[in-house]
Amino acid sequence: MKRVAVIAAAVLVTATLVTPAQAGQEGSTGPQAEYVVLYKEGTGLQAARQAIEAAGGTLVRENSAVGVATIATTNADFAAALSASAAIEGVAHNRSIGTVPTTARSTAAVRKAIEARAVEQAGDGAPAATTFGRPGPAAEPLAELQWDMKQINATAGGAHRYEQGDPGVLVGVLDTGVDGSHPDIAPNFNRALSRNFTVDIPVDANGAVVDGPCEAEADRSCEDPADVDENQHGTHVASAIASPINRLGVAGVAPKVSIVNLRVGQDSGYFFLQPSVDALTYAGDHGIDVINMSYYIDPWLFNCTDNPADSAADRAEQATVIKATQRALDYAHRKGVTLVSAAGNGASDYTKEIVDASSPDFASVPGEAPYSRTIPPSCISMPSEGDHVISVSSTGISKRKAYYSDYGNGYIDVAAPGGDVYDTPGNTRDVTRATLAAYPKALAEARGQLNPDGTPNVTNVVRDCRGSVCAYYTYLQGTSMASPRTVGVAALIIGKYGHRDRAHGGKTLSPSVVETVLKGSATRTACPTPPAFTYTRHLPDGTTATDTHVCEGNRTRNGFYGRGIVDALDAIR
């Protein structure tokens, strides 16, 4: 398994400083670890730095725009030492620092839980070739496989007849990276603005492999360039937004806008606080118009400030995640960035009390492991429940809410197609009911999914060629896929109604206006009748699963669809 890179100090956010503070007085010595520290608002930077130094911390990275810093320390009592400082508002574990031991243990169970929420692999299923139809004269070759684009009228005969986006509209993809060399992404990939904000993590504090040894990388480094994706998630997202109309493969919702890779996720699928904060402020400072966030910030799926199941230290850590993330979201929003996030794949109503047994999903200190907690609605999942964030649920081909999609009246803002492989007449699995988008060739090769002649040997991977140029695509489902289709519609809105951005060039449009048009043009979709909808899934192992979700609200706004299913054509008309 491979990993993710961190941006060099020379190209960090304009307001970010990297200052090598000297370690000061220390308490008990432990293994080196990292913390994210939130400065108290109104506090001078020097006062905060002095408090950190006095507690035995070394400044690794500082985002002065929102007062968040990454600190390295060997002081086992670092968090406690800072708790009394008037200059510090919160401290959270960031990650462990170390090398892979020879007896490293697997994180398969944790990764399985994360993948179930972050993105559901479509896997093998019905052969994709059986669903091919003849595309229209102006459509891309694989257009007939894009039922999702038909659902929101982002087609050659729909929105693309009138508006395909503007290259001056910059779309930030906060994800695991983007394969900037993919033939169906490269024409719209903005390499100059793309950045990495994270670095590969070989192992967690329990000695479990996360990203693996740096020497296993092709470049023998834990730092990757800003145009690679060794996970696939970010590339799929970017393709759904902006694959160009070039007679190859698929078209995105906004096929002429520019993609900016703002990498915040590990290749293993973790997304941590400091990279997210840095990417959000970078987006605000560099004229990014709209961003996609198809993830939650690890290690807590839900952040609670007063849950009796949590220790005082864990409560303080979760409060820090909430405050630091919200500061960064506020900053980006003030700077003109429209913020869009996936609602989540836990099949839960966020407005009701639920049970979460997946957090903390990353061991920052030895012995740390997930435990069961009752989660009231007051707990917050970040960034999807942050202020100014448009939260997106997922639909299947029939327009029903996908079986895995989180929901809740007042939580969901809009819905978009993200796929549902069980949305079939017999509730049996069909891979083509997921969504199709770009897939890095390097991953297909590494996973043994290609024959010697380059043709796929699995049914969830599709190849298309234009002359000697071939590109690969794969089926994925999840709210991770619904969110970028919403972002694509937002990008079309900015291209259609935006005005010249005097500070950064290109176009810009107030996020509040974008949100108003996005919601106002969405197709109003009522709750099912009866509102308690039962999902039946006949699983590949021969068993049957059933789940009942209750939709609350009315046709104008409800817990399954929010204000409705986004519509690219209506949005630009």
Q: Model confidence over 59-105: pLDDT tens digits?
A: 999 999 999 999 999 998 999 999 889 999 999 988 644 433 333 33
The yes-or-no verdict on residue 494 having pLDDT over 90 is yes
What confidence tier does 13 reach under pLDDT thresholds 50, 70, 90? very low
**Alpha-carbon span 481 to 340, nearest angstrom:** 12
The yes-or-no verdict on residue 558 having pLDDT over 50 is yes
**Alpha-carbon span 227 to 7, nearest angstrom:** 12
**Alpha-carbon span 147 to 259, nearest angstrom:** 23
Tokens encoding 345: 């794949």
Provide the pairing of β-strand 469-477 with 435-439.
Answer: antiparallel
Which one-letter amino acid corresponds to residue 456? P
What residues does 4 pair with on adjacent strands?
A: none
- pLDDT of 210 reads 84
Q: What does the pLDDT average to over 346-362? A: 95
Angle at 419 between CA 418 and CA 425, to 5 degrees: 150
What residues does 57 pair with on adjacent strands?
A: 73
Helix (H) / strand (E) element for 82: namely helix 78-83
CATH class of 108-298+326-344+384-523+559-572: alpha beta
Q: What does the pLDDT average to over 318-327? A: 96
- pLDDT of 218 reads 67
Answer whether 91's CB lies under 8 Å from 317's CB: yes
What residues does 29 pair with on adjacent strands?
A: 75
Residue with tokens 């809105």: 493
Instruction: List pLDDT tens digits, range 37-60.
Output: 999 998 899 999 999 999 999 999
Whole-angstrom Cα Rg for the chain: 23
What confidence tier does 123 reach under pLDDT thresholds 50, 70, 90? low
**Alpha-carbon span 100 to 257, nearest angstrom:** 41
What residues does 90 pair with on adjacent strands?
A: 38
Q: What does the pLDDT average to over 439-447? A: 95
- pLDDT of 122 reads 52
Answer whether 70's CB lies under 8 Å from 247's CB: no
Which one-letter amino acid corresponds to residue 174? L
Q: Where are the domains of the chain?
A: 108-298+326-344+384-523+559-572
Q: What does the pLDDT average to over 312-328? A: 95
The yes-or-no verdict on residue 126 having pLDDT over 50 is no
Q: What does the pLDDT average to over 192-215? A: 87
- pLDDT of 114 reads 42
Largest alpha-carbon pair distance within the chain? Answer: 71
**Alpha-carbon span 456 to 314, nearest angstrom:** 46
Residue count (the chain)? 573
- pLDDT of 365 reads 82
Provide the pairing of β-strand 414-417 with 389-395.
Answer: parallel
The yes-or-no verdict on residue 6 having pLDDT over 50 is no
The yes-or-no verdict on residue 502 having pLDDT over 60 is yes
Query: pLDDT higher for 15 or 507?
Result: 507
Which one-letter amino acid corresponds to residue 173? V
**Alpha-carbon span 284 to 297, nearest angstrom:** 19
**Alpha-carbon span 189 to 187, nearest angstrom:** 6
Q: Which of 113, 121, 117, 43 is nearest to 82 (CA)?
A: 43
Tokens encoding 400: 């029903």
The yes-or-no verdict on residue 479 having pLDDT over 70 is yes
